[in-house]
Amino acid sequence: MAFQAGKTFINLPIKDLKQTMDFFSQIGFEFNMQFTDEKATCMIINEHTFAMLLVEPFFQTFTKKELADTTRSTEVIVALSVDSREQVDEVADKALAAGGSAANDPQDHGFMYTRSFQDVNGHIWEVFHMDESLVQQA
C-alpha cells in the first residue's frame, strides 16, 4: 500500500510575523489563531494543508542547518492548484498588490497555466490551473 499522509504542514522561516500575516491576508488566506503567537502562525491553505510560518529564530530551533538566504537562493517552491485560469490571475495579482514580486513570467502550456510570485520573505509560490482533459496521454 502506498504511503498517504493525513495532513501536510509546510514550515517556512519568516522575518516579520505581522507583515507576513498582512501579506497573506490580502491574498485571501486565513489563519488558525489557536496556533498563532508572537513566534509563529498557522496559515490555512485547505482543510488538509497548512503553512507554519515561523519567525526565523524560532524556526532555527528545529534545524541545525543554516537557513537559506531567500535573496540569493531558493529552498522551496510551493505550488497551489486553483479551479481556473482566472483564479490564477486573481491570486497572483493580489500577491503583487500586497507587496510580493513576480518570480517568473506567466507560463501557458495549453493544458496548464501558471504564475508565480515571491512573498514578502522571498519564498516562491506558484499558482496554477491544469485542465487534465487536455493532457496528452503518453
The pLDDT value recorded for residue 1 is 83
DSSP class of residue 26 equals H
CB count, 10 Å around CB of 35?
Answer: 13
* pLDDT exceeds cutoff 80 at 138: no
The Cα 38–Cα 57 span in angstroms is 12
The predicted model scores a pTM of: 0.89
* pLDDT exceeds cutoff 70 at 137: no
Q: Write out pLDDT tens, residues 46-97.
A: 999 999 999 999 999 999 999 999 999 998 999 999 999 999 999 999 999 9
Task: Give me the amino acid identity at 95.
Answer: A
Determine the angle formed by the axes of helices 17-27 and 85-97, rounding to 10 degrees: 150
Phi, psi of 74 (to 5 degrees): -115, 130
* pLDDT exceeds cutoff 80 at 98: yes
* pLDDT exceeds cutoff 80 at 136: no
Q: Tell which CATH architecture fits domain 8-61+75-134.
A: Roll (3.10)
Give the mean pLDDT of 113-134.
94
Q: Write out pLDDT tens, residues 4-54.
A: 889 999 999 999 999 999 999 999 999 999 999 999 999 999 999 999 999
Phi-psi region of 28 (alpha: psi -120 to 50; beta: other; left: phi over 0): left
The pLDDT value recorded for residue 135 is 78
The pLDDT value recorded for residue 41 is 98
The domains of the chain are located at: 8-61+75-134
